[in-house]
Structure 1
Amino acid sequence: MKGKYYIQGMSAISPQHSFGENVFSQPLMTVSENVFACVEPDYRAYMPPNSIRRMTRILKVGLTAALQCMQDAGITVPGAIVTGTGKGSLSDTERFLKEIREYKETALNATPFIQSTYNAVNGLIALQQKCTQYNNTFVHRGFSFENALLDAMLLIAEGNKDILVGAFEEITAEHFYIKSRIGFWKKEKIASNELYQHPTPGTISGEGAAFFLLSDTPGEVQLSGLKMVYKPKESYLQKFLASHELNLEDIDLVISGRNGDSNFDHYYDGLPNELPFKHLCGEYDTSGAFALWLGAQILKAQQVPANWFPMLTVPAGPYKNILIYNHFFGEQHVYMLLTLNTGYLK
């Protein structure tokens, strides 16, 4: 989809120290158990202690990332709230199901059920900021965040302003076990910073939340293109670039979803100036949101965080066009194009 869409603010809570200032000077966080967990911030700066005590982890992560994003953009009430999630609050869902069995469908606590719904984070953001505008959540596995992003772009094309768009995901021990039974994760335990040196079936799991304030007001980073392709029989890369009057030589950096899974990594073979990101956050339905955050940060800083990629030869800048190519276990394929707005003056 073409148009003028600019990222005015952004925030990410991830397994890396991505929240706050000077994120690119932070050390690389690694795991050796094939399970990533978020580095959580101090929530007390964003919500009262009595609210923190009542909220589950995904609610705190999602709300805090959204509030920081709006703070970064300099607004308090967005024109709309649109999010994507593949699983929503897994911990609340599991707790509610366990209580159904434990109490034999009697005397159930309604709170886990209410907080387990996919739009719980959206509702919390709207209540906190008193936003009564358009509010929607997309749940489409590997297309969840991208459908939310597309909806935000359509809203802007219709004349709406300051759209808060984001994604959130969490992993639990039960969910990790279930997905391991069907081959999602590697059987052998590896260090996350050695992910690309182990081309075997499966990958490592992750989680995170990322939010963006999208507007048609000119800004430093422009979201120039978005394309979703379901189970393509051949690469759609050339067609996507051609639709934006570009070719591979015009792309300064390709942020890829390569994740060490030998079943699907062949989709990324041959990409120039490739920078894979899954060793930073792991694999999950809405990991594309972290990739978009990373690409936008690189464009703004005009540098790649060297600390986070010690195992790779980082393509040199300057960076004007960054392509993001990610897929979810070979089914949902996504292309996103970020462009540095050289005419923008701060």
Structure 2
Amino acid sequence: MKVKCYIQGMAAISPQSTFEGDIINMPLVRTESNRLACIEPDYKPYIPANSLRRMSRILKMGLTAALKCLAVSGVSTPGPIVTGTGKGSLQDTEKFIKEIEQYKETALNPTPFIQSTYNSVNGLIALQQQGTDYNNTFVHRGFSFENALIDSLMLLQEGYSHTLTGAFEEITPEHFYIKSRIGHWRADPVANIDLLNTNLPGTIAGEGSTFFVLGAKADANSIAALSACKLLYKPSAAQLTATLQELGSDADLIISGANGDSNHAHYYQLLQDVLPQPSIPFKHLSGEYDTAGAFALWLAASLLKAGSIPAELFPMVPQFPTDFKKIVIYNHFYGEQHTVMVVEKV
């Protein structure tokens, strides 16, 4: 979809120190395990104490990232709230399922069930901001965030001035174990900075909550412009090549979703062959999860705003472009859902 919108504000809670938004001075958080957990901020300035104690991690991360995003943008009323998530609140889901067995389906606490629904974060944001506009959550695995983006673009076309668009995901020990049984993660521990140095099956798990205020028109607060977003389901090599050439032939920088998984490395080799421009990875910062594309969009907009690439965050990249105005993001989710986004300097 080629409809331009403008990022007026953004916020990210991730395994890196992204919440303050200062990418130039942000240190690289290193880990030796196969699981990257979010660095959670102090929630008290954003969530009342009586509510905070009843909320699970993903609800706190989602609501706080959304409220920080609105504060940064200066938009008090978000209008439509559109999000994407692949799994929703795993913690609440697991808790509810465990209580079904523990209490033999009697005297169950309804709170984990209510908060396990995919749209619970959207509902909390709307209640906090007294929003009564369009409110929707997309749950489409690796397309979840990108479908939320496309829906937001259509809403802006229909006349809305702003949308609050985001994604949220968490990883729990139980879910990490289940996914390890089917080979999603590396068999042996690997440091995140060494993720791309070895070509082995599996990758590292991640999580995060990222939100954007998208505007129909550019203004003095505009951080970057999203000018294209295209989704491909199980594309052939020819289809993927054509899309990359169409959207990325004149790009100055490529942000690649390469995650070190040998099962799907051929897609990123194709990317390199079709678009030989300078490229940087991002999964060593965020880990792999359904809506990692939201983190990649935050990264692209942050780099365009800063005007330079901090070498500290990308020790595996020998050289960076000195000037870049157009960034193409290519990512896929386990070889099925492929997405290409174009982000440009305003």
TM bucket, shorter chain: over 0.9
Q: Are the aligned partners of 2:35 and 2:287 in contact in 1 as well (CA < 8 Å)?
A: yes
Deviation at 1:101? 0.2
Q: Are the aligned partners of 2:226 and 2:341 in contact in 1 as well (CA < 8 Å)?
A: yes
Matched, 1:303 2:308: yes
For residues 240 and 262 of structure 1, the distance between their equivalents in structure 2, rounded to whole angstroms, comes to 23
> Aligned-residue CA RMSD in angstroms?
1.3
State the match for 2:236 in structure 1. Answer: 233
State the match for 2:113 in structure 1. Answer: 113
Structure 1 residues 327-346: aligned runs within 5 Å: 327-341=332-346
Change over 3 Å in CA distance of 1:292–1:235 after alignment to 2: farther
Deviates more, 1:160-169 or 1:312-321: 312-321
State the match for 2:90 in structure 1. Answer: 90
Matched, 1:291 2:296: yes
Matched, 1:325 2:330: yes
Change over 3 Å in CA distance of 1:220–1:47 after alignment to 2: closer
For residues 212 and 322 of structure 2, the distance between their equivalents in structure 1, rounded to whole angstroms, comes to 24
- Residue identity matched to 1:286: T
State the match for 2:172 in structure 1. Answer: 172
Deviation at 1:86? 0.2
CA deviation vs aligned residue, 1:172-223 (integer Å, no higher than 9, x gap): 0000010011110010111111000121000000000100011111134110
For residues 232 and 21 of structure 1, the distance between their equivalents in structure 2, rounded to whole angstroms, comes to 35
Deviation at 1:72? 1.1
State the match for 2:33 in structure 1. Answer: 33
Q: TM-score, normalised by structure 1?
A: 0.95
For residues 24 and 62 of structure 1, the distance between their equivalents in structure 2, rounded to whole angstroms, comes to 24
Q: Are the aligned partners of 1:223 and 1:338 in contact in 2 as well (CA < 8 Å)?
A: yes
For residues 56 and 235 of structure 1, the distance between their equivalents in structure 2, rounded to whole angstroms, comes to 44
For residues 153 and 5 of structure 2, the distance between their equivalents in structure 1, rounded to whole angstroms, comes to 7
For residues 238 and 99 of structure 2, the distance between their equivalents in structure 1, rounded to whole angstroms, comes to 47
- Residue identity matched to 1:324: I
For residues 76 and 37 of structure 1, the distance between their equivalents in structure 2, rounded to whole angstroms, comes to 30
Change over 3 Å in CA distance of 1:314–1:80 after alignment to 2: farther
- Residue identity matched to 1:134: Y
Q: Are the aligned partners of 2:4 and 2:228 in contact in 1 as well (CA < 8 Å)?
A: no
Q: Are the aligned partners of 1:85 and 1:139 in contact in 2 as well (CA < 8 Å)?
A: yes
SS of corresponding position for 2:124: helix
Deviates more, 1:103-112 or 1:234-243: 234-243
Q: Are the aligned partners of 1:275 and 1:314 in contact in 2 as well (CA < 8 Å)?
A: no
For residues 62 and 176 of structure 2, the distance between their equivalents in structure 1, rounded to whole angstroms, comes to 21
Gaps of at least 5 residues in structure 2 are none
SS of corresponding position for 2:151: helix
Q: Are the aligned partners of 1:167 and 1:286 in contact in 2 as well (CA < 8 Å)?
A: yes
- Residue identity matched to 2:234: K
Q: Are the aligned partners of 1:304 and 1:314 in contact in 2 as well (CA < 8 Å)?
A: no
Deviation at 1:30? 1.5
CA deviation vs aligned residue, 1:257-295 (integer Å, no higher than 9, x gap): 000000101111124211110000100000000000000
Deviation at 1:306? 1.6
Deviation at 1:23? 3.1
Structure 1 residues 4-43: aligned runs within 5 Å: 4-43=4-43
State the match for 2:53 in structure 1. Answer: 53
Q: Are the aligned partners of 1:15 and 1:36 in contact in 2 as well (CA < 8 Å)?
A: yes
For residues 21 and 256 of structure 1, the distance between their equivalents in structure 2, rounded to whole angstroms, comes to 21
Q: Are the aligned partners of 2:23 and 2:302 in contact in 1 as well (CA < 8 Å)?
A: no
For residues 42 and 235 of structure 1, the distance between their equivalents in structure 2, rounded to whole angstroms, comes to 48
Query: Between Structure 1 and Structure 2, how many residues are aligned?
Result: 338
Deviation at 1:242? 5.6
State the match for 2:196 in structure 1. Answer: 196
State the match for 1:145 in structure 2. Answer: 145
SS of corresponding position for 2:7: strand
Identity %: 59
- Residue identity matched to 2:225: Q
For residues 170 and 48 of structure 1, the distance between their equivalents in structure 2, rounded to whole angstroms, comes to 22
Change over 3 Å in CA distance of 1:243–1:160 after alignment to 2: farther
Matched, 1:316 2:327: no
